[in-house]
Chain A
């Protein structure tokens, strides 16, 4: 069975500092991994995804994520946080061996960037 975990309910970081939002997963086959962001009073938006290839993927708004197969992780990172990055972040996974298009989302991590 596929699963995903976001161990932190909330992450606080000072503006200008690097940020990391953690995500770990469990699948039988190869994972398809995604990050989505939900800004206040706005819908969920796609940030980036890992399908195959380079372990470091770059996405919207300066975010990037590193796929680590040995640690089964896909942490979201940004070198310098902005107050406007404050939002709810979701990691999602699909197991390529599952035979289904079903995605499992994590419980979300609230990022708070302090000015």
Chain B
């Protein structure tokens, strides 16, 4: 079956511009996560959505970052007024929704801010 998909795969933008990153989770998965992976670094948690509950936004690094999930499916991560330090690979993952379920990761979006 189809896995988690993310678009675009690559995004190059200029400092100060806004960007939107999209994630399509696996159908039926109620939990959706966003992570950031900087070069040589581990995975940094950004936000997760679980069913109809309020999202856990505790990992968002600043108020320039926001995310939404529409209809319990597709999610969009928006970065406003991008900075060079925002350059990273942004990963989306989904899971069935139990607290111990493994996550299925998308291929990521590589964001480069010039």
Residues of A at under 8 Å CB distance from B? Answer: 6, 32, 34, 36, 42-46, 49, 51, 90, 92, 94, 96, 100-108
A-B contact count (CB 8 A): 54
* A residues in contact with B31, CB < 8 Å: 101
Please tell me if the beta carbons of B102 and A49 are within 8 angstroms of each other in the complex: yes
B50 (CB) vs chain A CBs: closest residue: A101
* B residues in contact with A92, CB < 8 Å: 43
Please tell me if the beta carbons of A103 and B45 are within 8 angstroms of each other in the complex: yes
Please tell me if the beta carbons of B48 and A45 are within 8 angstroms of each other in the complex: no
Chain B contact patch, size range: 20 to 34
Q: Residues 34-62 of chain B: 1 if any A CB is under 8 Å from the residue's CB, otherwise 0? A: 01000001110100101000001011000
Q: Residues 87-114 of chain B: 1 if any A CB is under 8 Å from the residue's CB, otherwise 0? A: 0000101000001101111111000000
* A residues in contact with B41, CB < 8 Å: 107
Please tell me if the beta carbons of A105 and B102 are within 8 angstroms of each other in the complex: no
